Amino acid sequence: MTAYWILSFSSHLCSFYQLHRFSKEHEVILDREVQLERGFLIWGFKKDPTDFEYFFPLKMHETWLVHTSEDQYYLLIFSTAVCSLRCISFCLELCWHPLQAGGPNHCPLLEVKGLKTLIFQFYKLTAFCFYHPLFYNGPIVTYRDFSEQIDKPVCKVSAVFVLSGILRVCVWWCLAKFMIHVMYMHAIQSNESYLEMLPPWALGGLALALVQFFYVNYLVLFGVVSLLVRLDGLEPPKLPRCVSIMYSFTGMWGHFDMGLDKWLIRYVPLGVSRHGVFRKLISTALAFGFVCFWHGCHDYLQYWALLNWIGVLVENVLALLVSSRSLHHIIVSRLSPRMQRRGLALISALSTAFLILSNLGGIHVGRIFWKRLFVQGWSSVAVPVVAFLYCFAQVGIEWDMR
């Protein structure tokens, strides 16, 4: 296992270094095209300002009452989108458990408890929707969890816990800043010419850097919010798991944004998935369709949702086949536990490759990566890529077994 850790870590460093070299070699042209900003974290380095998801949340707390700028417009749109999930959660919980939400359980609301009950319901809704730490960017919390925790006595949080939380967020923030200073990944990603020019190692480094930066960005955003929420005595969803040790579509959806995953499981009608393969197809399609629609339903989001849906379905079909009595007996009788794990890691490596391709931020990016890595470079590039992804999968499997 130590060898897998070393190979995984070394491949990250090597590919990131190659991407850094490419970034510095083309810094002048990139600066002319995307206007790189003066860096402040590392002396003499510029920073890549083209990632919207990183720089937009940093500006969201400045002003937001009216959208006099593009940033404020996106803030209004995104805050409204997150608020809509809270409204859906509140309304469904009210329908399912009217007494717990403050309403009657048998007659129309206004006929039994009148205006006071309606006002009380509205008060609970606004308290849930406009709870400030969660208001702008989440993470998503269901109304059931929020209402169960908000009325409990606030437990004292030690100074050591607070300081350690602040230190972790600062480390993640510095890491995110370091990445955009030494690797101009988003500027390179936005230009197809550079994607065609990148050496194989730098191309792999770009894919890893994009998904790793996305992960670190969410650690910063959710880390700050989670710390504030804990100070209020609430239990936030767990922080995202490192993407380098995620080796399946199912694991990505279950361990990255746990708040959204829990929301989907509770409120999207998945019960029919227990009644046959066809109904399972429909239920999972509903979940991915809702996520696509909620994110904006753009063309690239439709492809992203479709690829993730197919990935989850293929993994579930393979799991059903392997768990069938006849095939399971053959596997157990003819393969040792180590060989079974190696087979799982190999299948997971292929799944991870498609998982990364589906999360690279656009149709054109995924198409170029697929062409260069698995079509043009099937004999020279694809094999090393799958080999390193195999190491990542082994590390992830070991992590899950702890």
Both tokens of 56, joined, read: 């937009």
Counting every residue written for the chain, the total comes to: 402
Residue partners of 391: CB distance under 8 A and separation at least 6 = 4, 7, 8, 11
For residue 252, which amino acid is it?
Answer: M
* DSSP code of residue 244: G
Q: How far apart are CA 145 and CA 90, in angstroms?
A: 11
Question: How big is the chain by its Cα radius of gyration, in Å?
Answer: 24
Asked if 393 and 352 touch (Cβ cutoff 8 Å), the reply is yes
Distance CA 290, CA 297 (A): 9
Torsion of CA 330, 332, 337, 340, to 10 degrees: 40
SS3 string, 293-334, reads: HHHCCCHHHHHHHHHHHHHHHHHHHHHHHHHCHHHHHHHHHH
And the tokens for 36?
Answer: 């790189």
| Token pair in block for residue 97 | 């458990």
Residue 236: cis peptide before it, omega within 30 degrees of 0: no
Q: Is 362 helix (H, G, I), strand (E, B) or coil?
A: coil
Closest alpha carbon to 235 in 156, 308, 141: 141
**DSSP 3-state assignment of 257?**
coil
Annotated catalytic residue within 26, 61, 186, 295: 295
Is 295 a catalytic site residue? yes
Q: Are 360 and 205 in contact (CB under 8 A)?
A: no
**Identity of residue 236:** P
Residues 6+ apart with CB under 8 A from 72: 63, 64, 66
State the distance between the two ends of the chain, measured CA to CA, in whole angstroms: 13
- The DSSP symbol for 107 reads S
Q: Report the catalytic residues.
A: 295
